[in-house]
Amino acid sequence: MDIPKDFLNKEFLSQFKTEEDVSKFLTDLHAKVLEQMLEGEMDSHLGYEKHSSEGTNSGNSRNGKYPKKIRTHYGESVIEVPRDRQGEFEPTVVPKHQSRGLSIEKLVISLYAKGMSVSDIEEEMKEIYGISLSTSAISVITNKVTQAATEWQNRPLESLYLIVWMDGIVFKVRDQGKVINKTVYLCVGLNKEGIKEVLGMWVGKSESSSFWTGVLTDLKARGVEDILVTVTDNLNGFTDSIKAVFPNATTQICVVHQIRNSCRYVVWKEKKEFTSDLKNIYNAPTKESAASELDLFDQKWGKKYPYAIRSWRVNWEELTAFFDFPVEIRKIIYTTNLIENLNGKIRKYTRNKLSFPNDDALKKAVFLSLTEIQKSWDQPIWNWGLIFNQFLTIFENRIQV
């Protein structure tokens, strides 16, 4: 649609005979503006403009468009949304699975959530969307996130979680003039509906079992009365911290973490054979046969790598807790892969941040990342009906249906 330079031109205005004509024009105009903004976003995503020679052999390119019905202040309309060949394009101005375009405030927060700095957002708003917004105004908008994050962190939780995965992710943060490592502690719970939920985030200087005790105490203060199974790495004292707050929880140490730690002591040329032999232990059908496989493993590797074997024996009860469950439950509790995948997605959203100026900025960025990630967590985990019935059978006195 061509928009006249003089909007009040009599010839232009003469085409509007009724209020419906004006409404239709504004609806079409808004749709065209959104389409132009989407094209700008696609240019930014691919790194080159449409029909540019820079796109040749770039590894990704436009792949047509698809229609999308949207609702605006002026009514419903259908717009054409561009897509890329690799399926990685995530539009901001009209997000996937939403039928409304973003307000400027939501647009700014969405860009910030994707890891852009305040100055980057100012430039993006001007170059792609044609909107002039000062860095101070953008800061005011993003600072509203802090209150939302605080409310989210202090919200009441459910009384029971069937599984809670726990892990930490390290970031660079400026502290008293120095850039140091700080850990964001994360807990993901699985509720009785089979839905995953990030229970909270906590920032500390380094991962320790004593800090985790504080995290678990906070969960209890917010309403969690019981956890059936916890899944963690093999941090010293972690199991004791869990038992101090949730004494009835079954504690499972991540087998994948254990394998990684064991391989630290193995020379490179033997790692493939070493890890292959380890599979015989955790792939065993029962706990007893797993113990026999560990003995065979010890006979082969024990003299050369005694510390690696000792670590398996010291942590044996927590490493093999998953054998007490049916296969369907074993698959989701023997490793912290779920929360490690979450950490990887957080890294994706925050990769532009080499370091954070303070803890508040770190919390804000991680909270926004979690908000984006959890948008897809609206369905129960696969095979939930069967898994929940297995939990009911095993923990019939601890699950209130």
Does 216 share its domain with 354? yes
Phi and psi, residue 276, nearest 5°: -65, -40
Q: Is residue 6 in some structural domain?
A: yes
Question: Does residue 388 lie in a domain region?
Answer: yes
366, 200 in Cβ contact below 8 A?
Answer: no
Q: Is the pTM of this model over 0.85?
A: no
The CB-side HSE value for 256 (13 A sphere, CA atoms) comes to 12
Q: Are residues 180 and 284 in the same domain?
A: yes
Residue 148 shares a structural domain with residue 231: no
Q: How far apart are alpha carbons 213 and 233 in whole angstroms?
A: 15
280 is a domain residue: yes
* Residue 329 shares a structural domain with residue 344: yes
Is the same domain home to 115 and 138? yes
Among candidate residues 94, 89, 41, 92, the one with its CA nearest the CA of residue 72: 94
User: Which of 154, 178, 195 is the last residue before a domain boundary?
Assistant: 154
How many independent structural domains does the chain possess?
3
Q: Are 120 and 194 members of one domain?
A: no
d(CA 288, CA 136): 64
Task: Tell whether 226 and 355 lie within a shared domain.
Answer: yes
Alpha-carbon distances, residue 347 vs 55, 104, 254, 369 (angstroms):
27, 25, 21, 9
Tell me, yes or no, whether 199 and 330 share the same domain. yes
Residue 400 forms part of a structural domain: no
- Asked if residue 43 is part of any domain, the answer here is yes
Spatial CB neighbours of 48, under 8 Å, sequence gap ≥ 6: 54, 55, 58
Q: Are residues 150 and 163 in the same domain?
A: no
Domain containing 72 equals 1-101
pLDDT tens string for the chain (401 positions)?
A: 444 444 445 555 566 567 676 667 667 766 777 787 788 778 888 888 888 877 777 788 889 999 988 776 656 788 899 999 888 888 877 777 776 655 566 777 777 766 677 788 888 777 766 666 677 767 777 777 788 888 999 999 999 999 999 999 999 998 888 899 999 999 999 999 999 999 999 999 878 888 999 999 999 999 999 999 999 998 888 999 999 999 999 999 999 999 988 898 899 999 999 999 999 999 999 999 999 999 999 999 999 999 888 999 999 999 999 999 999 999 999 999 999 999 999 998 888 777 888 888 889 889 988 988 998 898 999 999 999 999 999 999 999 87
Listing DSSP states for 39-108 in one string gives HHHHHHHHTS-TT-GGGTTSS--EEEEEEEEEEETTEEEEEEEEEETTS----SSS-TT-SSPPPHHHHH
Residues 34, 180 within the same domain: no
- Pair 66, 143 in one domain: no
Q: Which residues make beta-bridge pairs with 163? A: 190, 229
Examine the domain organization and report whether 4 and 141 are in the same domain: no
